[in-house]
Amino acid sequence: MKMKKLVSVLLVAACSVSLVACGGKKEEEKKAEEDKTLVMATNAEFPPYEYYEGEEVVGIDVDIAKAVAEELGMELKIEDMAFDSVIPAVSSGKADIALAGLTVTDERKENLNFTDTYAKATQVIIVKEDSAIAGPDDLEGKKIGVQLGTTGDLYASDIKDAEVEQYNKGFEAVQATMQGKIDAVIIDSEPAKEFVAEAEGLKILDEAFTEEEYAIGIAKDNDELLEKVNKALKTLKESGKLDEIVAEYIKADAE
User: What pLDDT, in 10s, does the model give residues 12-35?
Assistant: 555 565 655 556 656 665 555 567
Give the 3-state secondary structure of residue 113: strand
Containing 192, the helix (H) or strand (E) segment is helix 189-197
Domains of the chain: 36-118+215-249 (3.40.190.10), 122-211 (3.40.190.10)
For residue 154, the model assigns a pLDDT of 86
CA quadruple 248, 145, 212, 103: dihedral sign: negative
Give the 3-state secondary structure of residue 158: coil
For residue 35, the model assigns a pLDDT of 73
For residue 33, the model assigns a pLDDT of 57
Peptide bond connecting 88 to the previous residue in cis, omega within 30 degrees of 0: no
* Cβ atoms < 10 Å from Cβ of 168: 14
Rounded to the nearest 10°, the torsion over CA 83, 54, 47, 37 is 60
For residue 161, the model assigns a pLDDT of 94
For residue 223, the model assigns a pLDDT of 97
Low-confidence ranges of the chain (pLDDT < 70): 1-34, 251-255
